[in-house]
Amino acid sequence: MKNKLLSFFLMIVIAVISNISCNKKLDEAYRNPNAQTVQPVENILPSVIGAMLGYSSAAGSGYGLGGDGIIIGRYIQYWNNYTLTTSDNGGTQYDKMGGTIGGSDALGSVWAMFYYGQGANLNRVIDYGTAQQKWDYVGVAQAIRAWGWLELTNQYNNVILREAFDASRQQFDYQDQTEVYDTVRATCFRALANLNRTDGSVSPSNLAIGDAFMNGGDVNKWKKFVYGVLARSYAYLSDKSTYKADSVIYYCNLAMTSNADNSTLKFAALQTSGTSNYYGPYRGNMGSPRQSAYISNLMSGRNTTAFVGVNDPRTWYMLRENTDSTFYGVTPGVEGTTSLSANLRPQNFWGNPFSSTGAPTTEQGRYIFRDKAEFPVMTASEMQFLKAEAAFRKGDKSMAIAAYRLGISLNFDMLAANYSTNVPPSKLITSTVRDNFLANPAVVPAMDNNITLTQIMLQKYIALFGWGMNDTWVDMRRYHYMDIDPLTGKQVYADFVPAGGGYYINNNGKPVYRARPRYNSEYLYDIPALTLIGGLDLDYHTKQPWFSQP
């Protein structure tokens, strides 16, 4: 009887094992397409980094800073449309500081970047990296997430925070900016904790595989990047009674201090969109914008208050000349061909004639307007200007002017080292050219006490030209576009006229302060939450964000 029971038991065990084996073979042959498959974090991180400027996928393209930056650049008058257009969501509308209307995703690229292009992918880098003890990858992912939270909330103010990556929900609630800023800092500190780890599977050479096109696997550069995010998060609260100048200075000192520390996106430029700079000729995104009259006047000595009579040597790197070899630009909301005589109309950013929206047959762009040009995300120069402003507000004019001078010097050196391509040989920046510029008392006052907010903020405006649109927009909104410099009695942003003096009709006479969330997610599925924050109001884009309010 015992032998029969044993035989019966063995038959059951064999049958179970056989069934498991059969199921295993079936699972291997016919994998569930909906089952999550662990991918190497080394393969995920590059697309997450690429999404910072311009993410491309089958479900959409252009998600990142690049697409929205073209529009934000019009708000802050880095550039404006070369010709008038009356189409919805066209150049003239944004030149007049209008917000996006109708069923357009314009100004929704950063939203899509954060929640779609980076969202679940960053989560997987963190989850898989934690399981594999690749703490450097986890720290980098958290650094990018912290940076993303700050970029996101500064552009949209109210965003989806607590339920951001809850895949079980179809509608989401929005949180206030104060909570997002807290999350930025908490995420920064988590990133630093992981970037400081050297145990487990941490490997600089392995990190360099996934980080080939930003910081090259250099953990110290990523730490400085995180400190830079923290510095920004404190600097941007200058309108608050809780503003802490010492915190800004502290984190600036820990962030980038030389151009070797700069975080920039690199491109192989293999004649494909994904390998080319978003602003280069191959991708064709900068055909309509022309440099503005504001930046051209500022760098050519025509501003009535700041750097009067000073021809900035950097114009030959950043801007485009006209047939007279001088630098003029377009006025927002004004037809370029009527506001500028033929000899004053600048080339487009790729070196073609003013009226051309196309790229040249051979690449002749300069600065960041080339397919292979590095695109700065955060620089040592920017950190010095943040420090200069904080020191000024603290009353330490000596520190302020030293940081201000160093910020300008670092920007000159970055241009000379990385952006001399297609600059006329006679216009190349040398140490003598740089030092002569810094020795000009119209640029750097001889006396510490004579430094002004106007000088600090406008030299920062120049140093961030073309790539720092979001951060310059934060600065201009902190100063409400036309706040007065207490030392000059004139605007901090001297001569700046929002929208060229004519706001879009939906603005009700107010400047723009935020972008609306992305249409193809929020305005199709999240109407109840949008209603609570006034997102359906035609002038929603003119409501001030939390950071610019007292």
Q: How many residues does the chain have?
A: 550
Q: Which domains does the chain have, with CATH numbers?
A: 41-54+67-254+503-548 (1.25.40.390), 273-500 (no CATH)
pLDDT score of 32: 53
The DSSP code for 540 is: G
Quick one: tokens of 219? 């953990």
- For residue 58, pLDDT over 60 is answered with no
Q: Where does the pLDDT of residue 441 fall: very low under 50, low under 70, confident under 90, or very high at 90 and above?
A: very high
- State mean pLDDT over 546-550: 97
> What's the confidence (pLDDT) of residue 35?
45
Share the mean pLDDT of the chain: 92
Higher pLDDT: 361 or 474? It is 474
How far apart CA 453 and CA 300 sit, in angstroms, is 20
Average pLDDT in the 116-135 region? Answer: 96
**pLDDT over 50 at 18, yes or no:** no
Quote the tokens at residue 493. 């942003």
The confidence score (pLDDT) of residue 84 equals 87
Element containing residue 56 per DSSP (H, E):
strand 55-57
Give the residue from 427, 95, 77, 375 showing the smallest Cα distance to 214: 375
The whole-angstrom separation of Cα 549 and Cα 480 is: 10
Q: Which of 315, 265, 285, 272 is nearest to 433 (CA)?
A: 315
Structure tokens that stand for 110 in this block: 């950063």
Range with the lowest mean pLDDT among 236-240, 300-304, 495-499, 500-504?
500-504
pLDDT in tens, 328-341: 999 998 888 888 99
Q: What would the pLDDT profile of 64-83 be if each residue is shown by its tens digit? A: 999 999 999 999 999 999 99
Evaluate if residue 92 carries a pLDDT over 70.
yes
List pLDDT tens digits, range 514-547.
Answer: 999 999 999 999 999 999 999 999 999 999 999 9
What pLDDT is recorded for position 70? 96
User: What is the reported pLDDT for 371?
Assistant: 96
In this prediction, residue 89 carries a pLDDT of: 87
- What residues does 536 pair with on adjacent strands? none
pLDDT digits (tens, 9 = 90+) for 245-296: 999 999 999 999 999 999 999 999 998 888 999 999 999 999 999 999 999 9
Cα–Cα distance for residue pair 103/519, rounded to 1 Å: 6
Mean pLDDT of 140-163: 98
Residue with tokens 């950043």: 318
Structure confidence at residue 61 as a pLDDT band (50, 70, 90)? low
* Residue 124 neighbours by CB under 8 Å, 6+ apart: 39, 41, 44
